[in-house]
Each structure stands twice: as C-alpha cells, then as structure tokens.
Amino acid sequence: MSAALRTQVGIIGAGPAGLLLSQLLHLAGVASVVLERRSREYVLGRIRAGVLEQTTTEILRRAHVGARMDREGLVHHGVELCFGERRHRLDFATFGASVTVYGQTEITRDLMEARDALGATLIYEAEDVAIEGVAGSAPRLRWRKGGEQHALDCDFVAGCDGFHGVSRASIPKPKLTTHERVYPFGWLGVLADVPPVSDELLYASHERGFALCSMRSASRSRCYVQCALDEDLAEWTDERFWDELRSRLPADAAARLATGPSIEKSVAPLRSFVAEPLRYGRLFLAGDAAHIVPPTGAKGLNLAARDVDQLATALIAHYRKGSDELLNVYSAVALRRIWRAERFSAWMTSVLHKFPGRSSFDRGMQIAELDHLVGSAAAQAAFVESYAGASAVTGTAT
C-alpha cells in the first residue's frame, strides 16, 4: 500500500457537484482531493439536462467557471405549456426572472478545466472506495487503483457520488431515514442535431402522455416522450420517436418539428427521493447522494449547486473562523430547500403526465390545474419563483 495522502476535505464524486465544491473550496484556500470511480471520459460522456436557475449561474460565475456559459448559454425568459391543443407561454420577464440553458456536460467540462488549471488533485478510476472514521475525528478514504491500495486522511468527507454511490451507503441504517416515490413511467429521450421546435422549452400534457421539447443550442435539440419503464430501445426507431413526439404536440408546433438521426437515445426512470439527515459525523451528503427529483421541474443540478455552495460556505467558516455553526445547521437548512424543490417537481410531474388507471375526472383536474396556472398572475408568480429559483416579487434568489 502506498503512503497515505493528506488533505482537508476528501470529496467523493467528480460530477458537477464534487468538482464545484472542490473549486469553491480552492478559491477560499481550503485544500481538497476528489475521488471518482469512473474515467474522466465516462464522466464527460454522460448526457444530462442543463436548465440553470439564476442562483446557479451566479454560483458558477463566483466559482470562476461562468465565462463560456455566459457566451454560449441560451437565456430564456419563459416556457411554453401545451394542453388542449393550445400553446400557452409563461412570461418570466414579467417577474424579473430568467433561466439559462447550458448542458450539464459543458458545466462538467468547464469545471474539469478550471480544476486542472489550478493543479487540483483529481483521481479517476478509484475503485472500491471505502469511508472510515467519519464518526470520529480522523476520517480516512481508501481505494484501489492500478492494482495498488491507496488512502487519504482528511478532516471532512463530502459525499457527492450520486444516488448509487458509497457515501450514503456508508451511513449506518439506524442513523438514516429515506423517503421515496417511484413513478410508473419513464422518459424516452433523444438528442439530435436539429433546430428546436420553439425558442423556449415546450412542455406538453397530452392524452397519449407527456412530451418535452428542449435544446442544447440553436442547432441541437433534446426531446422526450413519456414511456413505459420496460421499453425496448431497439423497437424505437428514430422515425417512430419523431412520429410519437409529433402526435403529442399542438398542430402548429408539430408542423415546425424538424427531425433527424439521433446522436443519443435512452430511457430514464423518474423518482423522488430524500435522505435525512445529510450529515453523519464528519461525512456530509450533497447532490444526488442526498436527493433525487423527477426531471420535470429541472431542479436536480440546481439543487446540487445550492448544496455544495452551502457546504463550501460552512467548511470555509470552519477553517477561517474556527466556527462550526454553519456545519451544524447544514442538514436542516438544506433539507428545507430540498423539500420545497421536491414539492414543485412532484407537482409538475403530477399535472403533466398520464398515470396508469387515471379516470376522466383525474384528467379534468390536470387540465383545471394547468388552466388555473396560465390564467392566474398569482399562480404564475409562484411558478416562476419555483422554476427560475428567484422571488417573483423581488427578483432575489430563494
């Protein structure tokens, strides 16, 4: 076994949450080492959404990784909701709000390059990571790489390794409570080099099921249709996908739908999940290790950014001021925000999707919810506050 490394914060997971935490800590003079079980190429190859709240874009700029986002990101001042064969635009600008469309893969790339430029220690392909000693005062991380055993001594451990990672699984079961809702459908997503149907995201609630038309750029689209969880991708030709998407859109949007060969095609399950508390001794959970939201509300990446920004602030206070007050309230403060995002994401999922066994009354209630939203300024203000992450009254972050 090689000699143990030493750092202040050991971070597990080199997705956007772990890399952003490492970057924020570094800029404040706090040392960290990042462990990732996958290769760098694998991490960069993951296709994820990228609808960024105003608060998230501010965090990325503060982390010195916002330049390319500001150049290439698409700023949207609204979204479209489609139901009853009609399109309804919700205007965010009325409430002084906006979102930025910028892919998670691009954020990860920007963070990797920023960490490389500052000489960060990022260890990829770290296998069999084990967490020790977090209940005491001397945490240690162990892993295997290149046939050798390695170790890292640190003051704190940040678990940013996703839903299936080792961090949450390392907390004794009696010390952790989990809450979960698994939805009885998934999203079939296609990435293609075709112009978007609309200049803004288009959400459709249809008798055949939910659909979403999104984008990565002015020439690359990311589109989804609600599907069964056991769908066989081999049966979904590109032609079948585009035909199904077209059938769920209002006629004018369907007429504008440009089609082309898919670059990537996949089925994503939907679930709501919260673990609590988010701290066990000197181990702190953040991002998907702590919570999962259905993608309908575009909250996942934004929640992760808020988690690590809050955690970084608390860790910096520990090292600069000798104060653990913010570390002690990290879990309680984060969970209030997380549950609000869970509520909004579950609500959006409930009103836009077709659920098994749904009655005509249930469908009528969905339409009534959507009709109330597009017809009420107060309802729109509340929607914008949740979706864009800013107060519809003051324009400040929530």
* Backbone region of residue 162 per phi and psi (left: phi > 0; alpha: psi in -120 to 50; beta: other values): left
Sign of the alpha-carbon dihedral angle for 42, 44, 49, 54: positive
The answer to whether 203 is a known catalytic residue is yes
Structural contact between residues 298 and 49, judged by C-beta atoms closer than 8 angstroms: yes
Helix axes 300-321, 54-62, angle to 10 degrees: 40
Cis peptide bond prior to 277, omega within 30° of 0: yes
Tell me if residue 124 is catalytic: no
Give the number of residues written for the chain. Answer: 398
**Catalytic (active site) residue 76:** yes
Q: Which of 295, 318, 330, 353 is catalytic?
A: 295
Q: Is 295 a catalytic residue?
A: yes
State which H helix or E strand residue 182 sits in: strand 177-192
C-beta neighbour count of 375 within 10 angstroms: 10
Helix pair angle (325-352, 360-375), 10° resolution: 120
Catalytic position from the list 102, 203, 280, 330: 203
Marked catalytic residue, from 26, 150, 299, 318 = 299
Catalytic choice (16, 26, 76, 102): 76
Contacts of residue 24, defined as CB under 8 A and 6 or more positions apart, other chains included, come to 59, 62, 63, 308, 309, 312
Segments in the chain forming alpha helices (H):
16-27, 40-45, 54-62, 67-72, 104-117, 166-169, 238-247, 251-256, 300-321, 325-352, 360-375, 377-388
Task: Please identify every residue annotated as catalytic.
Answer: 76, 203, 295, 299, 387
